[in-house]
Amino acid sequence: MAEQVQTGDDRAIRLASIVAIDIVGFSTMSERDQRNAARKVENLRARIERVAAANSGRLFNTAGDGFMLEFVSAGSALAAIQEILDRRGKGEPPIRVGAHVGDVIVTATEDLLGHGVNVAARLQELAEPGSALVSAEFRSMARNSPQAAFQSKGQKPLDNIDQRVQTFEILSKRQRFARQSRRVGMMLLAAVIVGVLAYFSPTAYRMYQEYSQQREPQANAETQQLAASTPVETPASPVEDVPTRVPGYTFADCEGCPEMTVLAGGLFVMGSPANEVGRGRDEGPQHEVSLAPFAIGKYEITFAQWDACLAGGGCNGYSPPDGGWGRGNRPVTNISWDDAQAYLDWLNRQTGGLRYRLASEAEWEYAARAGQTEAYAFGPRVTATQATFRSRQTTPVGAHAGNAFSLFDMHGNVGEWVEDCYAPNYDLAPVDGAAVQADECQRRVYRGGGYADQAPVLRAAARRVAENNVRSPGVGFRVARTLD
């Protein structure tokens, strides 16, 4: 638990792990048998209080159909949630749970108010009966617990919360067992297949040779006959409707949608070493990040794509100026972080989901490095033939060669907004590469450097900061996408 900060009205503010629990179908249960419903609720409350106390937590608020709890850490809260869900008593009403780590205000009666409580309550409203939905902040702080097991549920809009929240479901004991069983089953199946192939392969090879020798003359005759009577047709290229997780796979979800490239993810070292030329103090400490596979735009979003959003009634009706350089396939400029979110809202409506988003800082740096540990994807230096910088205007996207991941203009042309709220260092950076969020975030990060910047600003680790609503001629954005 963070130290309390005293506010001007004598109410303390602190960071807290908040858990919201709601009884599903409480009104219907009460209408049928009010006395029985009250008895079940009291029994449930008593069990929740016992579990919370055993895991360094407390019940600080209650209503007829819900409970609010506070824990000293996300790990303690996770243990309590799993016990509450996995050890449901006979006849106990179904519940749903939400959890978040955020700032709260402590009242004189030790009640808690504020954004941290609100987010937990909204997540609880979205959870399925018998499940727990938590924020990325909660997962990041609880993932090192021995019993941690999560499944991503994507970014979700919350009522009365401006920003979408990256959410995860806590897996129950049954779900964890099923996941482990599938893994073991697949390993056993693979071992059996390898063993069978190893045992039968010599016999199968001899049979294949004998069959081929017998079949070859007949096949040649049939081929000659068909060639003389049948016109040659070119087989159609296979079409995949669903993007795969194969690294390097490119796709577009609709006509006019950004072209996306799948990246494998995995471990990489984020940040810059102390001796890197141009290094900023906010680029460390260097730390290892583990990323799940994701997709990122092959190119920066162009004026043509932004104008399609405008024509479709999106992007808040804002038409950014092009500086007289032309629109078309030049990267869109004079875009704020808020403007980028408006484009993403429109894009997700076109594709029927909430999969498109800005990349996190970690995802963006991983994509920009493209496996390189030097300052740039091309090595320790960058030249004017490799990127657009120290220039008077942008160039069309893709004017320079792509990096090893076949991504273009990751260095230069325009700076690119990422999802993260700015933090002055990586001391508390999420180890899973999730975006850094804050209850009240006024400044966001953009990466990559723009057409007018000097080379050090283009480095893969370089960070720039601006307020959410600032529009600059040198800043645009690139989109990322969660894989299905």
The pLDDT tens digits of the residues spanning 235-287 come to: 333 334 445 668 999 999 998 899 999 999 999 999 999 999 999 999 999 99
pLDDT at 418: 98
- Out of 176-180, 200-204, 221-225, 386-390, the most confident range is 386-390
∠ CA(399), CA(480), CA(102), 5° rounding? 140
Mean pLDDT value across residues 321-332: 94
Gap between the Cα atoms of 41 and 36, Å rounded:
9
Asked if 473 and 320 touch (Cβ cutoff 8 Å), the reply is: no
Mean pLDDT value across residues 38-47: 90
The answer to whether residue 206 scores a pLDDT higher than 80 is: no
3-class state of residue 434 by DSSP: coil
Average pLDDT of the chain is: 84
- Where does the pLDDT of residue 3 fall: very low under 50, low under 70, confident under 90, or very high at 90 and above? very low
Distance of CA 153 to the CA centre of its chain: 9
pLDDT at 422: 96
Gap between the Cα atoms of 461 and 282, Å rounded:
10
| DSSP character string of 126-189 | HSPTT-EEEEHHHHHHHTTSTT--EEEEEEE--TT-SS-EEEEEEPPHHHHHHHHHHHHHHHHH
pLDDT at 233: 36
Percent of the chain with pLDDT over 70: 81
Mean pLDDT value across residues 216-220: 51
Minimum mean pLDDT range among 269-278, 383-392, 408-417, 433-442: 433-442
pLDDT at 199: 57
pLDDT at 276: 96
- Where does the pLDDT of residue 198 fall: very low under 50, low under 70, confident under 90, or very high at 90 and above? low
Domains in the chain, CATH or no CATH each: 5-175 (3.30.70.1230), 250-481 (3.90.1580.10)
Q: Under the phi-then-psi rule, with left for phi > 0, alpha for psi from -120 to 50, and beta for the rest, what region is 147?
A: alpha
The answer to whether residue 296 scores a pLDDT higher than 70 is: yes
The answer to whether residue 316 scores a pLDDT higher than 80 is: yes
pLDDT at 425: 95
Nearest to 39 by CA among 58, 47, 80: 47
pLDDT at 226: 41
- Where does the pLDDT of residue 15 fall: very low under 50, low under 70, confident under 90, or very high at 90 and above? confident
Minimum mean pLDDT range among 31-40, 45-54, 376-385: 31-40
The answer to whether residue 234 scores a pLDDT higher than 50 is: no
The answer to whether residue 412 scores a pLDDT higher than 80 is: yes
∠ CA(268), CA(271), CA(272), 5° rounding? 115
pLDDT at 209: 58
Asked if 44 and 93 touch (Cβ cutoff 8 Å), the reply is: yes
The answer to whether residue 480 scores a pLDDT higher than 60 is: yes
Kindly state the tokens that stand for 205.
């090879």
Asked if 449 and 462 touch (Cβ cutoff 8 Å), the reply is: yes
Containing H/E element for 447? strand 443-447
Mean pLDDT value across residues 198-207: 57
pLDDT at 137: 83
pLDDT at 301: 98
Nearest to 140 by CA among 420, 340, 477, 353: 420
Residue partners of 224: CB distance under 8 A and separation at least 6: none
Nearest to 347 by CA among 262, 252, 268: 252
The answer to whether residue 223 scores a pLDDT higher than 60 is: no
Instruction: Establish how many alpha carbons lie within 13 A of residue 427's alpha carbon, considering only the half-sphere containing its beta carbon.
Output: 5
